[in-house]
């Protein structure tokens, strides 16, 4: 008997069988995809085996200090594990049970067809924790915060790319050698969160298992990838505080999500900026529609 599962470590990263490193298991992926999917094989009692996407069983290789590697053809001693189950039930039912197709279409009647509900739902399935942790109130606030911010960024989901084309070539940080700019490519705002800068395209693509440095246009031509980039940004620690929007809305309030997304331009100006005020108004609108209070600390 077997089931398909994913494994998420305490650092909130998914365990991946990295076949570029011989199938070694590493908890370093933001997205739950092929290499992060395992077949759980139930044996006697609480004993299980894990088979990776390459068809190889995961083995605790005690000749190498017990590291886990998906490289064995046979399910035997080193490939057998004891499953210890946390008895605490999972909380929440996720984004789909908060934001229905009917709600989405009613909130965005003039949206660009690129931003389809199905593409958004497909992207959320790669990030199971999104709108799926904490109380019902917290989950609804997270949905409202995400929708409010992407509404602000895209003119109510009408714009796929940054409107000011004169700025398109400006989003290249040549000092960043980890994710160097590719000649002929621009890293201007694209998608629901308006992903910008070469280092964000590089890190996001790396997490998603695709080359967005060489192919940044995927964010504006593939709607599922586009929504995935927005969720990657939302679910990945950002900035000096190394904080996720996912955690910020639950633990600090909506204002902290503004700070994470565009704090350099919209926060810390002595008074609430027009841009931040617009985000707050949108967030309050979505919380009303979802039947939840907006909470405290709305501004940044």
- Three-class HEC string of the chain: CEEEECCECCCCCEEEEEHHHCCEEEEEECCCCHHHCEEEEECCCCEEEEECCCCCEEEEEHHHCCEEEEEECCCCHHHCEECCCCCCCCCCCCHHHCCCHHHHHHHCCCCCCCCCHHHHHHHHCCCCCCCCCCCHHHHHHHHHHHHHHHHHHHCCCCCCECCCHHHHHHCCCCCCCCCCCCCCCCCCCECCCCECCHHHHHHHHHHHCCCCCCCCCHHHHCHHHHHHHHHHHHHCCECCCCECHHHHHHHCCHHHHHHHHHHHHHCCCCCCCHHHHHHHHHHHHHHHHHCCCCCCCCCC
Q: Which two tokens stand for residue 52?
A: 């990776």
Catalytic residue among 79, 142, 153, 266: 153
Answer yes or no: 153 catalytic. yes
Q: How far apart are CA 23 and CA 36, in angstroms?
A: 11
CA 169, CA 148: separation in Å to the nearest integer?
27
Q: Nearest Cα to 265, choosing from 300, 230, 229?
A: 300
Bridge partners for 195 per DSSP: 190
Residue positions annotated with a catalytic role: 153
């Amino acid at each position: 008997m077997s089931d398909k599962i994913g494994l998420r470590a305490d650092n909130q990263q998914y365990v991946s069988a990295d076949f570029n490193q011989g199938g070694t298991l590493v908890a370093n992926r933001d997205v739950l995809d092929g290499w992060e999917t395992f077949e759980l094989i139930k044996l006697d009692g609480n004993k299980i085996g894990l088979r990776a996407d390459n068809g190889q069983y995961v083995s605790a290789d005690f000749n190498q200090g017990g590291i886990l590697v998906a490289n064995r053809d046979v399910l035997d001693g080193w490939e057998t594990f004891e499953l210890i189950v946390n008895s605490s039930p999972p909380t929440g039912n996720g984004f789909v049970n908060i934001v229905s197709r009917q709600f989405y279409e009613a909130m965005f009647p003039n949206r660009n067809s690129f931003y389809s509900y199905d593409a958004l739902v497909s992207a959320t399935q790669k990030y199971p924790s999104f709108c799926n942790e904490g109380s019902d109130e917290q989950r609804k606030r997270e949905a409202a915060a995400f929708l409010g911010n992407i509404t602000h960024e895209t003119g109510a989901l009408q714009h796929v790319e940054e409107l000011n084309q004169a700025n398109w070539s400006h989003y290249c940080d040549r000092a960043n050698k980890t994710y160097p700019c590719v000649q002929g490519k621009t890293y201007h705002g694209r998608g629901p969160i308006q992903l910008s800068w070469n280092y964000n395209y590089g890190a996001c693509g790396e997490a998603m298992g695709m080359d967005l440095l060489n192919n940044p246009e995927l964010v504006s031509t593939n709607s599922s990838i586009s929504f995935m980039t927005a969720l990657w940004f939302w679910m990945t620690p950002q900035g000096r505080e190394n904080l996720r929007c996912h955690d910020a809305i639950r633990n600090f309030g909506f204002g902290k999500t503004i700070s994470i997304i565009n704090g350099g331009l919209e926060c810390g100006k002595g008074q609430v900026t027009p841009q931040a005020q617009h985000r707050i108004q949108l967030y309050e609108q979505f919380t009303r529609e979802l039947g939840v209070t907006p909470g405290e600390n709305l501004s940044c």
